[in-house]
Amino acid sequence: MGMIQEFKEFAMKGNVVDLAVGVIIGGAFGKIVSSLVDDVIMPPIGLLLGGVNFKSLAITLKEASADGKVAGVALKYGAFLQTMLDFAILALVIFVMVKAINSMKNVGETAAPPAAAPEPSLQEKLLMEIRDSLKK
């Protein structure tokens, strides 16, 4: 029974729950970015390049057989370019979000003026007087 209790404590720790929430939201956010790239950004770029659909860009290494029994082999560099653009946009958005969060944290932590040195004790005052008299 001890192991089950330990696992329950581990699973309910804030870090594990936060990580799970982050992974779930990250997966959903990745889909949003993919849709942005596929449906909003790439169509105008393809139109500017003469109606090119990036996902269809490929280099055929081996043609498929006429009867369809042997599949063709192709390097799908267009899909790769699309995925790289997805990653670049996702990385940029995360970078901007982290910068915004850090700047909000810094606003909350305004620089307080340095605290004044505490009043010296009677013993310290006496030692300073002795030091000053020795200097003379």
Predicted confidence pLDDT, tens digits, the chain (136 residues) = 688 888 877 777 767 778 888 889 888 888 888 888 888 888 888 888 787 777 788 898 888 888 878 888 989 998 898 888 888 888 888 888 889 888 888 776 665 566 777 788 888 888 888 888 888 7
pTM beyond 0.75: the answer is no
64 φ, ψ (degrees, to nearest 5):
-70, 150
Give me the pLDDT at residue 108, please.
Answer: 65
Give me the pLDDT at residue 112, please.
Answer: 59
CA distance 51 to 45: 8
CA distance 57 to 42: 13
Q: Which two structure tokens, joined as six digits, stand for 38?
A: 């596929």
| Residues whose CB is less than 8 angstroms from the CB of residue 6 and which lie 6 or more positions away in sequence, other chains included | none
- ∠ CA 117-121-122, nearest 5°, is 145
Give me the pLDDT at residue 114, please.
Answer: 66
Give the start-to-end residue ranges of the domains of the chain: 2-108
Specify the CATH number of the domain 2-108: 1.10.1200.120
**How buried is 74 (Cβ within 10 angstroms: 0-12 exposed, 13-18 middle, 19+ buried)?**
middle
Give me the pLDDT at residue 126, please.
Answer: 83
